[in-house]
Amino acid sequence: MIGYIEGSILQKNDDRILILANQIGYEVLLPTIVLESLKERKTGDSVSLFIYFHQTEKQPKPVLIGFNTDEEKEFFQRLITVEDIGPMKAARALTVPVHDIACAVEANDIDKLQKLKGIGKRTAQKMIASLAGKLDKFILPGMTAILPKLKQDELIQPVLDILIEQLGIKPVDAKRRVTETLSLNPAILTPEALLEEVFRARPK
């Protein structure tokens, strides 16, 4: 199975490129975000891509989908776990950076998700239902500031309830520990991850 290709550009098309590597030409389908990053590259220029290899009984012809980073590839693999989103549809949907899509999912921003190519309201809802709380690692530090207050409340309150009601920690101390943890780890987006980090940090 092919997971990475490094070579030179043999040909560029609207949604794919042909890469020459070790005297073999590989046709690689590229999401919009990857195409944009390579628009200045010309025939003969070097290129390296992380590859998602897709082949099934229904589609026996192998399809290679390329990404600039392993992070983009991993996000893509999360995306295709959503019902009704296959590899081809997922590739077309990646029209903005994966960080932005992850943030939209965590913020329950259906309108923003619908702006992705091929994603309607119903599919956007499925994305949120399937992926919410699972995309922490794709959120850039500081992006939690744009999440709605309701989302912040949903993040913090369950943790406070556990610290205060189950563990007997004083409310003022519980709030301080949660606040300090979030300030050090602004990309945390789920109560489970927040609680884990609170326990990991020693109380002052």
Domain boundaries, the chain: 4-67, 70-138, 147-200
Q: Do 82 and 131 touch, CB atoms closer than 8 A?
A: yes
pLDDT by 10-residue block (mean), the chain, 204 residues: 94 94 96 93 96 86 95 97 94 94 86 94 92 84 54 78 90 85 73 87 59
Q: Which CATH number fits domain 70-138: 1.10.10.10, 1.10.150.20, 1.10.357.20, 1.10.540.10?
A: 1.10.150.20
- Sole residue written with tokens 């850039």: 140
Q: Do domains 4-67 and 70-138 have the same CATH topology?
A: no
The pLDDT, as a whole number, for residue 26 is 96
How far apart, in whole angstroms, are the C-alpha atoms of residue 53 and residue 6? 15
The pLDDT, as a whole number, for residue 83 is 92
Encoded tokens for 3: 């997971």
The pLDDT, as a whole number, for residue 191 is 85
Strands 46-54, 63-67: pairing kind: antiparallel
User: Rounded to 10 degrees, what is the CA torsion of 128, 130, 136, 138?
Assistant: -80
- Give CATH for domain 4-67: 2.40.50.140
The pLDDT, as a whole number, for residue 141 is 64
